[in-house]
Structure 1
Amino acid sequence: MLRGRARHGDADRARVVRLVAGRPAALDRVQIAGLGDSLDELAEQAREAEAAGIDCVWAVELFRSSFTQAMWLAGTTERAAVGTGIAWAFVRSPMIVALEALDVDEASGGRFRLGLGAGVKRLNETWHGAEYGRPAPHLRETVEATRLIIERAGSGEPIRYEGTYHDIDIKGWLRPHAKARETIPIYTAAVQEGMARVAGDVADGMIGHPMCSMRWLDEVLVANFELGLARSARERSSFDFLPTVCCAIDDDEARAIDAARRTIAFYATVRTYAPLWEMHGFGAAAAAVGDAFRAGDYASMAGHVTDEMVDTYTAAGPLDKVRERVEAVAERGDGVWFTPPTYFLAPEQLATYQRRIVAAFGPATASCSPGQTRS
């Protein structure tokens, strides 16, 4: 598996990214979020992605359950991995997370990847009535407790975990169902420093966020998961980092920029992401978006997002421009998670951008010439 506990040394921090045919090897491991207006569309797009050589299709969680979607994907794909990307960790007990993960792993024949994240405080507390607390230590405990339950399921051994957020004491539990694997890789999502350190310390891999600049990627995400790896005495090679890039591929660059602008506007309303804007001097623009949102002036929100912000946080435009940004991101990771702009767009627009990503970057279909797009 991806886990390891060997020494994390300076040579690993300075590792040279392997190139294949002049491009980063991470582009051989393309990740996408499973999208679709219906479950049938979700399955159809997943099968198309699998045929294109996509490494993993991840089930997002907001309007549907990520585990339910992952189970659906397990039954509609044959080779691609399926994952929860991400499941909200604090709204479920570690026992429920472990049981759902074991079930999906069995259904998929050992192709499941468990992706967990904290989400934002307000949605945890007001939508789910769940305790948020200090998210980094809370997520650490959830990962540790969940992994312990998964690994001991079926053994009959006592399961004891004591922490601030989880106090688990299980005796006399012998799960009768065969496991597809002895363990399941656990990925955690990170936006800021603390979560990146937790990922490097206790997770098998880390998932980036759709809103990320190159500077944020280097100085916040990579730097801090490396600190976590050092703290846990693990080699860099034991860890699977999947940075994320928001892509709008379109020969009409203005249309692509407008699509990306809308997704940036959505995230600019969330205070959690304020440091990301402030790093590049966009704090005032993000604040203006937030003011428009709170005033109910939704139509004006995207107008406060500048073209410079779009270039800083996304890859929008013709394929040759997008590819340049994607390859820079890929040089930092072990795979690349692609997402189209997902907010304030019609379902058919979202589906078009998703299919263009798969056509342009799926290892089996990445044959477009620079500047060409495929619907």
Structure 2
Amino acid sequence: MHSLWTIDYYNRSSLTRASAFAAASENAIVGTSVTPLFARSPLALAAAASDVQAIAGGRFVLGVGSSTRRMNQDWYGAALTNPAPRVRERIDLIRRLIAHREGPFHHEGRFDRLALAHYDRTALPDNLTILAAGVGEHMVRAVGECADGFVGHTIASAGYLRDIARPLLAQGAARAGRDAAGQRMTTQIVASASTDRRLARRDAAAQVGFYATPKGYDALFPGGVFAAERVAAREALARGDLSGVVAAGDAMAGDRAVFGTPEDVAVQLSRYAGVVDWALLYPPHFGVDQERVHANELSLIEVASAWTG
């Protein structure tokens, strides 16, 4: 396996699971895609990430994202204002915390304040690859300014990543005097593999339809593409109509997901060739029973293993 990725959700801890992956593997990259940047304090996040890096022997990649305002407020009790500059400051602070060796540590920033009379890290890792997620142009530029790479949204098309996200990342890197060529482009991709092509497409459509509903993701649909389908998905979700979400998502799935037999999935992944460095396969879970989620995970492991080889 090239890499193993975990995600934070209200019932999942990306860092806890990443540490288990790191302990159970020897060569694969272990990453989070993504960890909410403001759900934990900077010190707590830096300490946890450094621990995983130590367990992984340098194979860990910390992927972070601002998350939505609703998630920050309703899930984590943290108001989210000025997200792009806050992401820049927080990532810089985490880097400084991890690089610090010993002695006092102080940070008095626009958004974060930290004061440690003594902060001993002499036996811990002093560096970490940090990727950051973004959707809107301000956030994507901010990622270019401060992160080692980009994590595309789960329903970001290959065209969006190539034609919109990559130029914005380059603009941010240039603004910060950084080398855009050295930044890694990754993206999550809704992926559903099954011997039953119809069922695989249905599960992919459910996830795409669900993720297409937030208006905050308008940037992922430039020119208003799929506007009617997104409205239909939003209305269906509001009334609890799963079949309506699936129907709306089905029209978008061919552009926003890979699905079918394992062989179909491998072929469809080729549209991301030359666009992303790492494709992160994301099994659908919205409206999909747990047994089918797990069966898909096992199928995708085989797809990824053959693809890497």
What TM-score does the superposition give when structure 2 sets the normalisation length?
A: 0.91
Q: How far apart, in 1, do the equivalents of 2:5 and 2:298 lie?
A: 15
The residue aligned with 2:205 is: 261
8 A Cα contact 2:158 2:275, kept in partner: no
CA drift of 1:101 comes to: 1.1
CA drift of 1:278 comes to: 5.5
Q: CA RMSD in A?
A: 2.2
2:260 aligned with 1:317: yes
Correspondences of 1:359-370 after superposition (within 5 Å): 359-362=302-305, 366=309
The residue aligned with 1:162 is: 108
8 A Cα contact 2:107 2:115, kept in partner: yes
The residue aligned with 1:69 is: 17
Which residue identity does 1:173 align to in structure 2? H
CA drift of 1:203 comes to: 0.7
Q: How far apart, in 1, do the equivalents of 2:268 and 2:177 lie?
A: 32
The residue aligned with 1:26 is: none
Distance change (3 Å), C-alpha of 1:227 and 1:365? closer
CA drift of 1:320 comes to: 5.0
The residue aligned with 2:78 is: 130
Distance change (3 Å), C-alpha of 1:346 and 1:296? closer
8 A Cα contact 2:202 2:250, kept in partner: no
The residue aligned with 2:279 is: 336
Which deviates more, 195-204 or 245-254? 245-254
Q: How far apart, in 2, do the equivalents of 1:68 and 1:138 lie?
A: 25
Query: Which residue, 224, 233, 246 being the options, matches 2:177?
Result: 233
CA drift of 1:358 comes to: 2.2
CA drift of 1:325 comes to: 3.3
Q: What's the % identity of the aligned pairs?
A: 28
CA drift of 1:92 comes to: 1.3
8 A Cα contact 1:359 1:365, kept in partner: no
Q: How far apart, in 2, do the equivalents of 1:228 and 1:324 lie?
A: 33
CA drift of 1:239 comes to: 1.5
Which residue identity does 2:115 align to in structure 1? D
Distance change (3 Å), C-alpha of 1:223 and 1:321? farther
Distance change (3 Å), C-alpha of 1:113 and 1:249? same
8 A Cα contact 2:210 2:249, kept in partner: no
The residue aligned with 2:92 is: 144
Query: Which residue, 239, 242, 245 being the options, matches 1:295?
Result: 239
1:197-249 deviation per Cα after TM superposition (whole angstroms, max 9, x unaligned): 12211111211121011221122211211112222222234212113322223
CA drift of 1:294 comes to: 1.9
Which residue identity does 1:57 align to in structure 2? L
Q: How far apart, in 1, do the equivalents of 2:165 and 2:65 lie?
A: 15
Which residue identity does 1:121 align to in structure 2? R
Correspondences of 1:144-223 after superposition (within 5 Å): 144-152=92-100, 154-156=101-103, 158-170=104-116, 172-175=117-120, 178-179=123-124, 181-223=125-167
Instruction: Return 5+ residue gaps in structure 1 as ranges.
Output: 1-53, 367-375
Which residue identity does 1:163 align to in structure 2? G
Q: How far apart, in 1, do the equivalents of 2:155 and 2:260 lie?
A: 17
Q: How far apart, in 2, do the equivalents of 1:314 and 1:291 lie?
A: 22
CA drift of 1:167 comes to: 2.5
Q: How far apart, in 2, do the equivalents of 1:306 and 1:315 lie?
A: 12
Distance change (3 Å), C-alpha of 1:258 and 1:298? closer
Q: How far apart, in 1, do the equivalents of 2:3 and 2:262 lie?
A: 22
Q: How far apart, in 2, do the equivalents of 1:364 and 1:209 lie?
A: 22
Question: What is the DSSP-based 3-state SS (H/G/I as helix, E as strand, rest coil) of the residue aligned with 1:305?
Answer: helix
Question: What is the DSSP-based 3-state SS (H/G/I as helix, E as strand, rest coil) of the residue aligned with 2:38?
Answer: helix
Instruction: Return 5+ residue gaps in structure 2 as ranges.
Output: none
Query: Which residue, 344, 356, 368 being the options, matches 2:299?
Result: 356
CA drift of 1:285 comes to: 1.6
Question: What is the DSSP-based 3-state SS (H/G/I as helix, E as strand, rest coil) of the residue aligned with 1:343?
Answer: coil
Which residue identity does 2:265 align to in structure 1? V
Count of aligned pairs between the two proteins: 308
8 A Cα contact 2:6 2:14, kept in partner: yes
